[in-house]
Structure 1
Amino acid sequence: MGKVGLGLAVGCAVATCAIAAVMVARRVRSRRRWGRVVRELKELEEVCSTSVGRLRQVVDAMAVEMHAGLASEGGSKLKMLLTFVDNLPNGSEEGTYYALDLGATNFRVLRVQLGGKRSTVIEHDVDRHPIPQYLMTSRSEELFDFIVSSLLQYIERGEDSELSSSKRREIGFTFSFPVKQTSVSSGILIKWTKEFAIEDMVGRDVSECLQEAMSKRGLNVRVAALINDTVGTLALGHYHDEDTVAAVIIGKGTNACYLEQTDAIIKCQGLLTNSGGMVVNMEWGNFWSSHLPRTSYDIDLDEDSPNPNDQGFEKMISGMYLGEIVRRVILKMSQELDIVGPVSSKLSVPFILRTRLMAAMHEDDTPDLSEVARLLKDILEIPDVPLKVRKLIVKVCDVVTRRAARLAAAGIVGILKKIGRDGSGGITSGRSHSKMRRTVVAIEGSLYTRYSMFREYLNEAITEILGEDISQHVILKVTEDGSGIGPALVAAAHSAPVVDSVQ
């Protein structure tokens, strides 16, 4: 071999070795980086851990905070608002009742016909109306004139001639904004939320505004009940099953209410009801305890929110926030650990990853996680994500969802503990397990009804916390449209002689 040939051979060998060395170095760096990714995920799992022991601490904290909120105004993060609903529908109600449901950019009008037999709603019709944007910031008179105009048209289409006669009808009103209740049928608006900002209505009686608008149009209709959607869910649950003692909504937002004995409501000493009980609206989204497993992602999300240091429980368990937490985890891993290549600008957009999309990734059962790949590409503009990274993202979804569902379960058991339905007899008494009664919790909301993994984790945690002997007496029963049918049922229960009392 000549000198030139030898030189070329040596050069090629050196180049080959150099290339091999670069490739080896890249693989080593890749393995090290992936090792850091795995460690980051492991740390997330550990911080989000919801062992049975920790969940029982949350249960105890919930029960104690409920007690404090009933003892004095401002005594707890839980508002424990009185609803003045002291009689729940029991199935004996008869007649036709109307309902209005206002809680977002749409409102609904419903007619509910009751047949007097438990579990029988003979008929209910629904009419939906979008609220024009300008009415959300105009004057209260204009908003309620619009609502009543729609109600009148609905009644006329139904050809209910009795409404124009001397016979008065009853209506229930679901008004899902912060209200200080003054009776079962009246309450003062504390503040608007969502997209509403009608200044002249703050501090006014909501039912009075509706009643004035109906009277102006000649409608002989009385507002018999003013409630929020959680109370409506409880009413509907109790109508179908008298063992229903609490209601929970876990959807975009979350809240809970339950039946409390009036002698336990210390902040209103001397409060008397026909039944000896009253529904309490917990506003449990604001619950907080040092036992809640909070991460740096939760802290950052809270600081970036319009209401920092508020609604802490809701930000960990509700549909508004779960997808956003997952997005923040993926973003950090992408920026610091380069798991998906160049960081997409879409990944930095807050709330772009809706919880329903996160749930679709979590529940992707295709062998190659093709749905995960599609959503990453279509929503976050991250193409060609390796399978192992897709599996990692599914695991992140699982960690966040499992924590949320198990904490929600602890909240439910906290309610049961407060009223002595967890097998322990309550937070002060010591009744034996043998006296455990059948206990039903009405539940609504898309997280529980449509997200099967969330539902499975929540149900599993209920059993783990209570134990199998006790949990068999606790039934979570899905209801549908408590915010629509519920107010009509409450109106019916408070418009006729009461046959059954709150247990």
Structure 2
Amino acid sequence: MLASNLSAELHDDQAQKVDKYLHQFHLSDKTLMELSMRFRREMDKGLCRDTNPTAAVKMLPTYVLSTPDGTEQGEFLALDLGGSNFRILLVKVKGNGDQKVEMESQIYDIPDLVMRGSGSDLFDHIADCLADFLEKMGIKDKKLPLGFTFSFPCLQTKLDESVLISWTKGFRLSGVEGNDVVSLLRKSIKKRGVKENNTFGHKTVIPRHGSVSPKRLWGFGGIVVDHFYRTALDSTRTTQLFMNCVIV
């Protein structure tokens, strides 16, 4: 019984009802293998320049060409945008191979009107919240590197340039699709008078790099929400998507 592991307190009739609903989520080994093969085919299509536009799995390059080695240190700002609210973090990294990380963060809401307004409204709101966070942390006069996690389908053309393909998750902001979201954020931050050094990272690059240390190297990172995001470190020889790009 699938429900037998859920709770020892379930009566037989309750367990049968639970099994009835859980059974439709139980996949055979044959079905799982077929799904795996289909997924692999779509990954291969995503890596090919000619078939990438029609691939279900886009395999978009991140232009992150190395992983942390444990010597990184300093203070960093991070923005995590992916839903009706977003998080701002102050991350303090101690180097010397210890990988000691201290974080302070705050969550800010995104009003419905902003989610369905213009792109400038959204990024101006983010800049206002960032200014508020810096004031509360007592670091408004510091110029810190800023990592931007933007959890929407994007075509990244270099490390700090990423063009929004389409909105998801209920966002309907005008003037953003087809444009570089990093430039839009920088424009709003500059208008607000906030000091920053802005960079960009896609959603799954962050957990993957967060797992890396000199003693432990993971090849994949993933996030399961209303969408599935996956990242992997691979040789550029496996993809044709870099052929028209300059790597420095």
Q: TM-score range by the shorter chain?
A: 0.7 to 0.9
Letter in 1 for 2:119: S
Match of 2:202 in 1: 227
Counterparts in 2 of 1:176 and 1:119: CA distance versus 1, 3 Å = farther
Match of 2:185 in 1: 210
Letter in 2 for 1:177: F
Specify which structure has the higher proportion of helix. Answer: 1
- For the Cα contact (< 8 Å) 1:263–1:269, is it kept in 2? no
The Cα of 1:241 is off from its aligned counterpart by: 5.6
Match of 2:228 in 1: 254
Q: 2:166 aligns with which of 191, 203, 211?
A: 191
The Cα of 1:133 is off from its aligned counterpart by: 1.4
Counterparts in 2 of 1:267 and 1:145: CA distance versus 1, 3 Å = closer
CA–CA separation in structure 2 for the residues paired with 1:226 and 1:122: 19
Match of 2:58 in 1: 79
Q: Name the SS of the counterpart of 2:219 in structure 1.
A: strand
Specify which structure has the higher proportion of strand. Answer: 2
Match of 2:74 in 1: 95
Match of 2:9 in 1: none
Q: Percent identity?
A: 28
CA–CA separation in structure 1 for the residues paired with 2:168 and 2:215: 33
Counterparts in 2 of 1:252 and 1:239: CA distance versus 1, 3 Å = farther
- Identify the structure with bigger relative contact order (alpha carbons < 8 Å, sequence gap 6+): 1
> What do you get for the CA RMSD once the two structures are aligned?
2.8
Q: 1:181 aligns with which of 153, 156, 172?
A: 156
Residue-by-residue CA offset, 1:424-464 (whole Å, 9 max, x unaligned): xxxxxxxxxxxxxxxxxxxxxxxxxxxxxxxxxxxxxxxxx
Q: 2:40 aligns with which of 59, 63, 70?
A: 63
Residue-by-residue CA offset, 1:314-338 (whole Å, 9 max, x unaligned): xxxxxxxxxxxxxxxxxxxxxxxxx
Write the mapping of 1:159-174 to structure 2, written as runs, cut at 5 A: 159-160=138-139, 162-163=141-142, 168-174=143-149
Which stretches in structure 1 are left out of the alignment for 5+ residues?
Answer: 1-36, 275-503
The Cα of 1:121 is off from its aligned counterpart by: 3.6
- TM-score of the superposed pair, with normalisation by structure 1: 0.42
Letter in 2 for 1:66: M
CA–CA separation in structure 2 for the residues paired with 1:225 and 1:262: 20
Counterparts in 2 of 1:87 and 1:162: CA distance versus 1, 3 Å = farther
- For the Cα contact (< 8 Å) 1:187–1:226, is it kept in 2? no
- For the Cα contact (< 8 Å) 1:95–1:114, is it kept in 2? yes
Q: 1:123 aligns with which of 95, 102, 118?
A: 102
- For the Cα contact (< 8 Å) 1:262–1:273, is it kept in 2? no
Counterparts in 2 of 1:56 and 1:101: CA distance versus 1, 3 Å = same
Letter in 2 for 1:137: R
- For the Cα contact (< 8 Å) 1:189–1:205, is it kept in 2? yes
Letter in 2 for 1:133: D
The Cα of 1:120 is off from its aligned counterpart by: 2.6
Q: Name the SS of the counterpart of 1:134 in structure 2.
A: helix
Match of 1:142 in 2: 121
Match of 1:21 in 2: none
Letter in 2 for 1:243: L
The Cα of 1:235 is off from its aligned counterpart by: 1.5
Letter in 2 for 1:50: S
Counterparts in 2 of 1:241 and 1:213: CA distance versus 1, 3 Å = farther
Q: Name the SS of the counterpart of 1:180 in structure 2.
A: strand
- TM-score of the superposed pair, with normalisation by structure 2: 0.81
Q: Name the SS of the counterpart of 2:28 in structure 1.
A: coil
Q: Name the SS of the counterpart of 2:212 in structure 1.
A: helix
The Cα of 1:117 is off from its aligned counterpart by: 3.9
Counterparts in 2 of 1:197 and 1:209: CA distance versus 1, 3 Å = same
The Cα of 1:88 is off from its aligned counterpart by: 2.4
Counterparts in 2 of 1:70 and 1:112: CA distance versus 1, 3 Å = same
Q: 1:238 aligns with which of 199, 212, 228?
A: 212
Counterparts in 2 of 1:161 and 1:174: CA distance versus 1, 3 Å = closer
Match of 2:3 in 1: none
Q: Name the SS of the counterpart of 2:190 in structure 1.
A: helix
Larger deviation, residues 189-198 vs 71-80: 71-80
Write the mapping of 1:238-317 to structure 2, written as runs, cut at 5 A: 238-239=212-213, 242-269=216-243, 273=247
The Cα of 1:65 is off from its aligned counterpart by: 2.8
CA–CA separation in structure 1 for the residues paired with 2:199 and 2:25: 48
Counterparts in 2 of 1:148 and 1:239: CA distance versus 1, 3 Å = farther
Larger deviation, residues 153-162 vs 122-131: 153-162
Q: Name the SS of the counterpart of 1:80 in structure 2.
A: coil
Larger deviation, residues 183-192 vs 232-241: 232-241
Match of 2:8 in 1: none
Which stretches in structure 2 are left out of the alignment for 5+ residues?
Answer: 1-15
